[in-house]
Amino acid sequence: MSHDHPIDDQAPARSRPATLADIAAAVGVSPSTVSRTLHGVPRASEATRRKILAAANELGFEPNPHARSLRTSSSRFVGMVVPDVTHPYFMRVLNGVSDVVEQAGYQVLLMSSARRADKERAALRALVSQRVAGILLATSGGYEPCGVPLVFYTHVEADTGDGRIRFTDADGIGQLVRHLLEHGHTRIGFIGGPAGTPTAQERREGFRTALENAWLAVPGDYLRVSDSRWSGESGTRAALDLLALDPPPTAIVAASDMLAVGAMRGLRQLGKRIPEDVALVSFGDPLFADLFEPPLTAVSHDAQALGMRAAELLLDQLREPSERRDVRLPVELVVRRSCGCTASAATGSAQPASADLAAVVQRQYECR
């Protein structure tokens, strides 16, 4: 009987998916028993257990997630809200999140806030109404407590959430600044993120601190901010503005990859040579930075690793709620040529795919 699959062939229409009741009928037990067996709750008799499992298999049983969610009022979804679905950084984070979360039997439900507080609120509400088990949030200012375990990543809010994870932002900016100082720069401009967001503020403070540690004052108009979208266009504008100053900076630190890319376009528009006229370095490694002219020196971070750790933090909270944890992941300086360093080896060099590779690349260039 289990060899010629009569159940399968005689199934009403193959259209209706199998239910617990179908299995129960096929085996001759109650739906309760089937449910319990499938959940491995109190050890059913080995005989019926076997029959139930076989029947479930035979019928291709998959529990109806909606029935389950309705009953338990929670789902196997983890909600993730990103500020921008088209940004490679967030997609790499998503990749890391998916891996970990699927391992644990969850699925990720992705929502975009488009960097707008109102859309973020809407996304959060939609997630709650979907009864997601937990939420991963890079906030754009729309956060409000929502009764679901929530961990912040990358863009965090102070004193809330059940967890928090981000990179060592201030330190990363500090590395960039110190590197420029080694090149002899003293007039360094900064293109930061939108005023008022914690992440942007932390990076700007990192910039200021690094300069102050070198006994360098920071002219107010050397500090620019981007629009709320951290857009490349606003990076371009900021670069144009900086170069119009008197005296203009001889080096620029961009607080994100898109801002750096925008700045690079701005400097080209002006016909400025990088790094001869202005050096340019970036917090965040844009895609294909190794192919730019000149290759862009940047602080690189492992977005996928951050996603994985973020998911783990959340999963831990789902298993048993505990104190809020605050995690920082390290970053790494990838020296290329936009800072003023010159290639010692041939110009060929692949994009660093890992920390090791980045180190190799770093060695390929020697400073001054």
Partner DNA sequence: CTGAAAGCGCTTACAG
The residues binding DNA (CB under 7 A) are: 16-17, 19-21, 28-33, 35-36, 38-39, 42-45, 48, 61, 63-64, 67-68, 70-73
- Of 21, 70, 195, 244, the residue at the interface with a second copy (CB under 8 A) is 70
Under the binding rule (CB under 8 A), the answer on residue 105 touching a second copy is no
Q: Which is nearer to a second copy, 217 or 291 (CB)?
A: 291
Strands (E), 90-202: 107-112, 134-137, 150-153, 163-167, 188-192
Per CB under 8 A, does 270 bind a second copy?
Answer: yes
The CB density around residue 257, as the number of other CB atoms within 10 Å, is: 25
CB 244 within 8 A of CB 272: no
Please enumerate in sequence order all residues whose Cβ is within 8 A of that of 198, keeping only pairs 6 or more positions apart, or say none: 155, 156, 157, 158
The pairing of beta strand 107-112 with beta strand 77-82: parallel
Tell me how far, at minimum, the Cβ of 77 lies from a second copy, in Å.
9
Nearer Cβ to a second copy (102/326): 102
| Chain centroid, CA 227 distance in Å | 21
Query: Chain-centre distance of CA 138, in angstroms?
Result: 8
Number of residues that bind a second copy (CB under 8 A): 54
32 binds, among DNA, a second copy, none (CB under 5 to 8 A by kind): DNA
Determine the Cα–Cα distance for residues 151 and 133; give it in Å rounded to an integer: 12
Helix (H) or strand (E) holding 251: strand 251-254
Cβ burial 192-210 (10 Å sphere, 16+ → b, else e): bbbeebbbbbbbbebbbbb
Minimum Å distance from CB 70 to DNA? 4
As measured in angstroms, the least distance from the Cβ of 51 to DNA is 10
Q: Which of a second copy, DNA, none sits in contact with 43, Cβ below 5 to 8 A by type?
A: DNA
Residue 268 binding partner per list DNA, a second copy, none, with a CB distance cut-off of 5 to 8 Å that depends on partner kind: a second copy
In degrees and rounded to multiples of 5, residue 90 shows phi and psi of -70, -30
| Per-residue DSSP letter, 116 | -
297 binds a second copy (CB under 8 A): no
Count other Cβ atoms within 10 Å, centred on residue 185: 22
Q: Which is nearer to DNA, 23 or 279 (CB)?
A: 23
**Shortest gap between Cβ of 58 and a second copy (angstroms)?**
17
Cβ proximity to a second copy: between 106 and 207 the closer is 106
Q: Which of 209/349 has CB closer to a second copy?
A: 349
Q: Which residues are bridge partners to 112 per DSSP? A: 82
Task: Summarize as ranges the residues that interact with a second copy (CB under 8 A).
Answer: 15, 17, 62, 64-67, 69-70, 75, 85-88, 91-92, 94-95, 98, 107-112, 125-126, 129-131, 147, 232, 236, 261, 264-265, 268-271, 286-288, 290-294, 346-351
